[in-house]
Amino acid sequence: MIVAGCDVGSLTTKAVILNQKSILGHAIVNSTFRPEESAREVMEKALAASGLSIGDIKFCVGTGYGRDRVPFVGKVVSEIACHAKGAHWLLPSVRTVIDIGGQDCKAIKVDARGNVVKFFTNDKCAAGTGRFLEVMAKLMGLSLDELGRLSNQAGEALQLASTCTVWAQAEVVHHLNAKKSKADIAASVNRAMAGRVAILARSVGTEKDVCMTGGVAKNMGVISSLEKLLGVNIRRLRQDPQIIGALGAAVFARERMEGASR
Amino acid sequence: MITAGCDVGSLSAKAVILENGQILASNVIFARPEPEDSARDAMGGALASAGLTMGDISCCMGTGYGRNSIPFARAVESEIACHGRGAQWLLPRVRMVIDIGGQDAKAIRLDAQGNVIRYAYNDKCASGTGRFLEIMAGALGVPLEDMGGISLSSGNPVTISNQCVVFAETEIISLINDGRALPDIVAGLHRAMAHRVASLARGIELDREITMTGGVAKNTGMFAALQEALGVRLTALEVDPQIIGALGAAVMARDLSAGAGQGNHGAL
């Protein structure tokens, strides 16, 4: 039985195709302002990667901020439940999922079956969301990947005193004007980001195992700063952390089909 | 006796020269990278327009975020104290001052002598400070000083749902794309900002006789929106609201120089 999950986020749209045992294919595209178009595009790509057609998909679950506008889904589930489910499917020992998206951040406590116990979310303030890193990367003339990688080369420990993205931008400009190295500035940005996320993570408690999902989980600078701040090892997932929401949606789709056939 | 006040802020620097209960001159400049240069330029301009030199000033008080870098200041005072004192000197009945600067917002409650009783301020989050309007004006491609006038012709202000400056900027871009009228967007921004500042002020309880100081008070749309958000009529100042901190500093310089604790408007 083949099922799919589609996660329509604010910045990217993701699709995962799943059979009983494994991921057959996945795809990521940039979101357009028409969620239905983004969903169709990403699903076509994921199907092509799996050598399948839409007729092969028995059931599809939608999630993400544009989930109500996906034409081919049979059911929608919240991103929080999907991230928990997806992370748990890959790593059954996971109890805390930290998901950092383009415009929000969530800390989710998960039970042994991958169900959500409690969660905290920030979507009010850009600090501590992917948007913070995006703004800073643009300001520094770096890609998001470069911003993450540069942390490794940092020497001098610079501080960003401001939480607010707007004020922190002024601090980064100040460091750039003072000819501080981009690696040191990048590290300060990643550390500041981790500082905000840590506050949210501590509020749900950081029961082991801890993992990170969402695009920001590709940023090694943020991960290592967060590990230091929380005093825990953050387990790496064996899939692209950006597709975990879509994966969880696909797992929900499969559970739904199994429930229906029973 | 001639005294002066110099207020070196984050975005602008202001100087006021005071003699016998009269403002002889005032000057506002854009801040320069070094606060010391900002102070010299602001004061130099005020002295030139009063036809005076530094030697004529008996005492100068510094205030503002760069107050410790003003070479010619004999003493310094906090902006909060200076805004309170300056507003009360102009309007003796005033008991509350709402000051919105380029990078902060303050609500200050005063006693009858202009002393600060309580205050609340925000400089942690750009939302609810002058920076919010500055960034939005930039996103709309409108000069900041035109925002007030533009908002007055709004019939149906938009609701801005995001508080965060970064998210609100994205939100107004989509409002523009949706074809919403510019005056409605600007008026909606003023409302959103007024709402933020009003909650700051309510945190220390409103008093009768409220006035607004700082550069943002020049924005007529913002002034009206704040009145609406507070549900109270604000008393407008008759001088440039941007110079009130420097004015308060000049009044305090006079008190300091005269060795008197107090001294009201026109008393000397």
Phi and psi at residue A205, in whole multiples of 5°?
Answer: 85, 150
| Inter-chain CB proximity B166 and A135 less than 8 Å | yes
Measured between beta carbons, which residues in chain A are less than 8 angstroms from residue B136?
none
Query: What pLDDT, in 10s, does the model give residues B226-236?
Result: 999 999 999 99
Whether residue B21 is predicted with pLDDT greater than 90 in this model: the reply is: no
Nearest CB to A164: which of B124, B162, B174?
A: B124
Which residue of A33, A164, A174 to mutate against B (max B Cβ within 10 Å)? A164
Q: What is the number of alpha carbons within 13 Å of residue A212 lying toward its C-beta?
A: 25
Q: What percent of chain B has pLDDT over 90?
A: 87
Measured between beta carbons, which residues in chain B are less than 8 angstroms from residue A132?
166
Whether residue A72 is predicted with pLDDT greater than 90 in this model: the reply is: no
Residue with tokens 């609500």: B107
Q: What percent of chain B has pLDDT over 70?
A: 97
> What chain A residue is nearest to B104 in terms of C-alpha separation?
A167
Full DSSP string of B183-220: HHHHHHHHHHHHHHHHHHHHTT---SSEEEESGGGG-H
Q: Where are the alpha helices (DSSP H) in chain A?
A: 35-50, 79-90, 130-140, 144-150, 165-177, 182-204, 220-230, 244-261
Q: What does the angle CA A16 – CA A20 – CA A24 come to, to the nearest 5 degrees?
A: 35
Interface membership of B58 toward A (CB under 8 Å) = no
Whether residue A261 is predicted with pLDDT greater than 80 in this model: the reply is: no
| Inter-chain CB proximity A165 and B166 less than 8 Å | yes
Q: What is the number of alpha carbons within 13 Å of residue A23 lying toward its C-beta?
A: 21
Cα of B122 to nearest chain A Cα, Å: 12
> What chain B residue is nearest to A163 in terms of C-alpha separation?
B124
Q: Average of pLDDT values for B110-133?
A: 93
Cα of B164 to nearest chain A Cα, Å: 5
Query: What pLDDT, in 10s, does the model give residues A116-161?
Result: 999 999 999 999 999 999 999 999 999 999 999 998 898 888 999 9
Whether residue B261 is predicted with pLDDT greater than 70 in this model: the reply is: no
Asked if A98 and A84 count as a contact pair (C-beta separation under 8 A), the reply is no
Asked if A160 and A188 count as a contact pair (C-beta separation under 8 A), the reply is yes
Q: Average of pLDDT values for B54-59?
A: 96
Measured between beta carbons, which residues in chain B are less than 8 angstroms from residue A166?
126, 131, 135, 165-166
What does the pLDDT read at residue A258? 87
What does each C-alpha distance from B22 to A61, B19, B226, B265, B267 come to in angstroms? 73, 5, 30, 9, 11
In the chain, the amino acid numbered A1 is M
Q: Average of pLDDT values for B85-96?
A: 95
CA nearest B234: which of B216, B250, B253?
A: B216
Give the C-alpha separation, A115 to A95, whole Å.
Answer: 10
ipTM, two decimals, is: 0.86
Distance of CA B125 to the CA centre of its chain: 17
| Inter-chain CB proximity A167 and B164 less than 8 Å | no
What does the pLDDT read at residue B258? 84
CA nearest A114: which of A26, A213, A197?
A: A213
Measured between beta carbons, which residues in chain A are less than 8 angstroms from residue B167?
103, 124, 126, 131
Cα of B132 to nearest chain A Cα, Å: 9
Full DSSP string of A171-232: HHHHHHHTT--HHHHHHHHHHHHHHHHHHHHHHH--PSSEEEESGGGG-HHHHHHHHHHHTS
Give the C-alpha separation, A231 to A229, whole Å.
Answer: 6
Total beta-carbon pairs less than 8 A apart between chain A and chain B: 36
Which residue of B123, B129, B167 to mutate against A (max A Cβ within 10 Å)? B167
Q: Average of pLDDT values for B193-201?
A: 96
Indicate the pTM of the whole model. 0.86
| Inter-chain CB proximity B165 and A124 less than 8 Å | no
| Inter-chain CB proximity B167 and A131 less than 8 Å | yes
| Inter-chain CB proximity B164 and A135 less than 8 Å | no
Q: Average of pLDDT values for B148-160?
A: 95
Measured between beta carbons, which residues in chain A are less than 8 angstroms from residue B163?
124-125
How many C-beta atoms lie closer than 10 Å to residue B234's C-beta?
A: 17
> What chain A residue is nearest to B103 in terms of C-alpha separation?
A167
Q: Where are the alpha helices (DSSP H) in chain B?
A: 35-50, 79-90, 130-140, 147-151, 165-177, 182-202, 220-230, 244-258
Q: Residue A113 gets which letter from DSSP?
A: T
Cα-only R_g, chain A: 19
